[in-house]
A = this chain, B = another copy of it.
Amino acid sequence: MSVRSAALPPIADTQSGADDRQLAIGRVGVRGVRYPLQLRLDAATSTHTVAEWELDVTLPAEKKGTHMSRLVAWLDDFHLSSIPLDADVLRLALAQMLQKLEATEGQVRAEFPFFLRKRAPVSHVESLLAYQGSLRAQTHSGLTTVWAEIVVPVKSLCPCSKAIAAAGAHNQRSHVTIGLELLNKAVSWQELARFAEEAASSELWSLLKREDEKWITEHAYANPRFVEDLVREVALRLNQDARIGRYRVDVENFESIHAHSAFARIERGIWPMA
C-alpha cells in the first residue's frame, strides 16, 4: 500500500475536474437525508417534526461533478440556525445553498408529517391528526418559485351506491393531495387542510366518541361525493382564493368495494419539474 499511496496527491479533488462529454445535468444532489425540523404552522405557532430532504443543483456541461457534502453542510447549518421553516425562509435558504454550491439553478424539498389539534364534532373531545406536508423552492432561469403540498385523509361516500341501494352506501378513506405555488401572501397549513376537508363527505378525527361516530356517519351519508365531485369541490375552493397561483389537486379513493383505487386530478397552470 505504501508505494501506491506515496504516488498520490494527499487528497485529490476529483469532482472539480473538467468534463468533455458536453452534457449538462439538470439535477444532481442528495436525497433521503432525514433531519429534525422546526416547522412554522401559522404566524403564531411553530412545531417540531422530522423531515426528509432532497437537495440538488444544475451542473454545467464543463464540470465533472458537484460537491455533495456542501449540500449536507448547508442542511446542518440551516438546522443549527433553529429558524422555523416557512415559504419565505425556504426562499432565502435556497439562495444561500446555491451560493455555497456556486450554482445558478437548483432546488430544495423537505417532506414531513405535521399535526393539527382537532375537536370532535359533538363531544368536542380533542386529538391530533397527522397530515403529510412538503415545501419546495426552486430557482430556474433566474426565477425562484415556492411550492407547498399537503396530503389530507378524508372520507368519501359514493352517490351512486346511495342512490341505488335500499339502505347504506359504500364509503372509504380517501387522500386529497393539494400541491400549489405560494405567491406573496401566506397560506397556513390549517387553511390548506380545510380546502380538502370541507370538500369531502366528511373530515376525519383520531378520537371519536359514539355521539361523534353517529354524526360522522350521518353527515357523510348526507354529503355523498364521487371522486370527480371531490376533486372539483377542492378546485372550486382554490379558484376562489386570490392568494393561490398554479396548483394540482389529486384525489385517491381507496375503494371499499374493490381492491383498487379510483382517482382524479385537476391542474391549473403548467406543473413544474417533479
Copy number in the complex reads 4
Extra A-B contacts (11), CB below 8 Å, given A21-B236, A26-B265, A171-B172? A12-B210, A29-B263, A30-B262, A32-B261, A33-B260, A48-B48, A69-B207, A155-B170, A164-B213, A165-B218, A168-B221
Q: In the complex, what residues of B have CB within 8 A of residue A62's CB?
A: none
Q: Quick check: is A88 within 8 A (CB to CB) of the other chain?
A: no
In the complex, 8 of the A-B residue pairs with CB atoms within 8 angstroms, ordered by the A residue number, are: A14-B163, A28-B262, A50-B130, A155-B257, A160-B210, A165-B214, A171-B172, A173-B256
Residues A1-57 near B (CB distance < 8 A): 1-2, 4-5, 8, 10-15, 19, 21, 23-36, 47-50, 56
Given contacts A36-B128, A76-B127, A263-B29, contact A228 B66 (CB under 8 A): yes
Residues of A within 8 A of B (CB): 1-2, 4-5, 8, 10-15, 19, 21, 23-36, 47-50, 56, 59, 64-66, 68-69, 72-73, 76, 79, 113, 115, 125-130, 153, 155, 157-173, 202, 204-211, 213-214, 216-218, 220-221, 226-229, 231-232, 235-236, 252, 254-267, 271, 273-274
Please tell me if the beta carbons of A27 and B263 are within 8 angstroms of each other in the complex. yes
- A33 nearest CB neighbor, chain B only: B260
Given contacts A8-B163, A257-B155, contact A128 B79 (CB under 8 A): yes
